Each structure stands twice: as structure tokens, then as C-alpha cells.
Amino acid sequence: MDLVNGCRQVILGIAFVFLRKYPINCAYFVGFSIFFNPFFLHIYFSARLFTIRIVHIVVF
């Protein structure tokens, strides 16, 4: 469960990065995802669905 909570915290950070629109942080996340490639691919699909939920919660 600690990995799930950590993934949620990382996804929350990603959501705030896209909302604030910092291209430097986006490029840093691309390098971070490439560095942790197996872990990133393991949570990639669930991360996309969770980011969509966060965007709906923040927007509405």
C-alpha cells in the first residue's frame, strides 16, 4: 500500500505541474520516467486514469 500512496503523491505532483504549465518540470518528469522506466510502465495506465480523476476534481 505504500507504493500506491507514493504513486498517488507523484501523480498529484504531475497534475499540479500540468495545471501550472511549467515546461521545465514537464521535461524533468520525462527524464524521471525514463530513469524509472519499469516502475513507470507498471503504473502507467492506472496513472493516466487517476490523473483524469484528479483533473475533474480540481476543475469542478
Distance of alpha carbon 40 from the chain centroid:
10
What pLDDT was estimated at residue 3? 75
Q: How many domains does the chain have?
A: 1
pTM: 0.30
Give the range of the structural domain holding residue 32, as residue numbers without chain letter.
2-59
Q: pLDDT tens digits for 12-42?
A: 777 676 666 656 666 677 776 666 666 655 6
User: In the predicted model, what is the mean pLDDT of residues 54-58?
Assistant: 66
